[in-house]
Amino acid sequence: MGLFEQSQIPLNAAIKAMKLDPNAAAIIEQPERTLEVHIPVRMDDGTTQVFTGYRCQHSTVMGPAKGGVRYHQNVNMDEVKTLAFWMTCKCAVAGLPYGGGKGGVIVDVTKLSERELEALTRGYIDKIAPFIGEKLDIPAPDMNTNAKIMGWMMDEFSKIKGRFEPGFITGKDLSMGGSLGRTAATGRGVVTAAIEALKVRKIKAKGATCVVQGFGNVGSWTAKLAHDAGLKVIAISDVFGAIYSEKGINPYKLSEYVATSPQHSVKGFKGTKEITNADLLAIQADVLFPCAMEGQITKANAAGVKASIICEGANGPTTPDADEILKEHDVLVVPDILANGGGVTVSYFEWVQNLYRYFWTEEEVIEKQTDMMVKAFKEVYELSQEYKVTMRVAAYISALKRIAVAMKFRGMY
Ligand code: GLU
């Protein structure tokens, strides 16, 4: 089963539980527009390589499409469509005035020079420029893209349009209209969601143990902010391997180590022992934070999860089969479309600040973000109680309730 087909399983469970009008369901089940582009890039050795990219606007019912751009060798149309669908639902759960979109380019960024990466980024924007804009579709960072790449995108788009329109993209550097608090925002929201989940499970955050899979932007900030909130981070992994320490790992010191270590990996960090990624997922801890990528907790390893709570920093880390097993084992899963909505929430704040040309303090951003996350968590948790469904299905119910009303008033069904 492909990723998009899999992603429809909890959606369909929500449609059934809430008895959504089948006409509304039929609209939400398909993306509005999907674009495939081919981007020629003159490489440093003089040859020309043609890269394939995508942009999918899953829904614009609630507002402009919104979502990041991913650079990865395994990007494909099915994945981009799925990620765009998750953005539609994520924005609706968070109560943002956005639809959902996502972009991706098939590329192994480790194989490109800085100049080639810039040329590819500008080429991608040239190809999708007619379809994006601050009132149409607003890109942002995702896996392997960052503020530097957003800067090139912003510059290229400004040249094409011949005007300054910073609200067309979020996750920018502060110097060009970025928002304070954006870099850490996804991790911050993940930790806020975990603290709410710990309350549900009646576990004190202070001294609660946690495990973080992934040490990119989301994983590293989740680890740091969990540590700041008093949780003990006992294991962390990255693409190269995983480390464990019963005494706890200081994620700030680990970040410094990763920046200076030759492989830029968590492996070999002082005071930790090396474990496998499989060991990491099976550690006895209060919270497991999957912050790497899709399809990590599966039918094959879900029964081995000993955490009380799974709080999903990544998009789609748990497969539908695994969800069934986790439910039987009474693991509380805080789903991606709720837990990792902090990133797009602060992207929304960035867009608002761009439209106003007026900027907020970091404290204001954090306060507003935390309020929105706590509110969304409570709404989803209450729906899960009301409909007697998992928090994942409840999150889709929350999203569908908002989207269906807007579709009705637009006269779409
Ligand atoms: N890529 C992030 C996500 O998956 C952020 C998207 C955004 O800020 O638009 O939620």
C-beta separation of 349 from 372 below 8 A: no
Beta bridge partners of 242: 237, 275
The atom number, within ligand 1, closest to the CA of 315 reads 4
Query: In 168-231, at which residue ranges do the beta strands (DSSP E only) sit?
Result: 209-213
Give the pLDDT confidence of 161-213 residue by residue, as tens digits: 999 999 999 999 999 999 999 999 999 999 999 999 999 999 999 999 999 99
Q: For ligand 1, atom 8, which residue shows the shortest CA distance?
A: 344
Give the pLDDT confidence of 109-153 residue by residue, as tens digits: 999 999 999 999 999 999 999 999 999 999 999 999 999 999 999
pLDDT of residue 252: 98
- Percentage of the residues of the chain whose pLDDT score is greater than 70: 100
Give the pLDDT confidence of 301-350 residue by residue, as tens digits: 999 999 999 999 999 999 999 999 999 999 999 999 999 999 999 999 99
C-beta separation of 26 from 400 below 8 A: no
Average pLDDT, the chain: 97
Q: How many CB atoms lie within 10 A of CB 118?
A: 18
128-150 burial by CB neighbour count: b if 16+ within 10 A, else e?
A: bbeebbbeebbbbbbbbbebebb
Q: Is 170 in the pocket of ligand 1 (CB under 6 A)?
A: yes
The stretch 279-286 carries a mean pLDDT of 98
pLDDT of residue 377: 98
The stretch 394-401 carries a mean pLDDT of 98
Distance, in Å, from the CA atom of 140 to the CA atom of 166, rounded to the nearest integer, reads 12
C-beta separation of 236 from 212 below 8 A: yes
The atom number, within ligand 1, closest to the CA of 346 reads 8
pLDDT of residue 3: 97
Residue type at 276 in one-letter notation: T
**DSSP 3-state of 409:** helix
Q: Is 93 in the pocket of ligand 1 (CB under 6 A)?
A: no
Distance, in Å, from the CA atom of 348 to the CA atom of 405, rounded to the nearest integer, reads 21
- Cα of first residue to Cα of last residue in the chain, in angstroms, is 30
Q: Is 398 in the pocket of ligand 1 (CB under 6 A)?
A: no
How far, rounded to the nearest angstrom, does the alpha carbon of residue 275 sit from its chain's CA centroid? 26
Ligand 1 mean position, distance from CA 30 (Å) = 20
Ligand 1 mean position, distance from CA 258 (Å) = 24
Q: Is 315 in the pocket of ligand 1 (CB under 6 A)?
A: yes
In what order do the strands lie in the sheet containing 69-72? Answer: 33-42, 48-59, 100-106, 69-72
pLDDT of residue 238: 97
Q: Residues in the chain, how many?
A: 413
Helix axes 391-409, 77-94, angle to 10 degrees: 80
pLDDT of residue 82: 98
Q: Of 172, 347, 373, which is best to mutate to test ligand 1, by the most ligand atoms within 8 angstroms of its C-beta?
A: 347
How far, rounded to the nearest angstrom, does the alpha carbon of residue 125 sit from its chain's CA centroid? 21
Q: Of 71, 86, 87, which is best to mutate to test ligand 1, by the most ligand atoms within 8 angstroms of its C-beta?
A: 87
The atom number, within ligand 1, closest to the CA of 348 reads 8
Q: For ligand 1, atom 9, which residue shows the shortest CA distance?
A: 67
The stretch 14-19 carries a mean pLDDT of 98
Q: Is 347 in the pocket of ligand 1 (CB under 6 A)?
A: yes
Give the pLDDT confidence of 88-116 residue by residue, as tens digits: 999 999 999 999 999 999 999 999 999 99
Q: Of 75, 142, 170, 338, which is best to mutate to test ligand 1, by the most ligand atoms within 8 angstroms of its C-beta?
A: 142
Q: Extract the tokens encoding 375.
A: 């509110």
Give the pLDDT confidence of 215-234 residue by residue, as tens digits: 999 999 999 999 999 999 99
Task: Identify the H or E element spanning 309.
Answer: strand 309-311
102 is catalytic: yes
Select which of 102, 172, 224, 232 is catalytic: 102
Q: Is 72 in the pocket of ligand 1 (CB under 6 A)?
A: no
**Overall pTM surpassing 0.95 (yes/no):** yes
pLDDT of residue 379: 98
The stretch 280-298 carries a mean pLDDT of 97
Distance, in Å, from the CA atom of 404 to the CA atom of 413, rounded to the nearest integer, reads 9
pLDDT of residue 191: 98
Q: Is 343 in the pocket of ligand 1 (CB under 6 A)?
A: yes
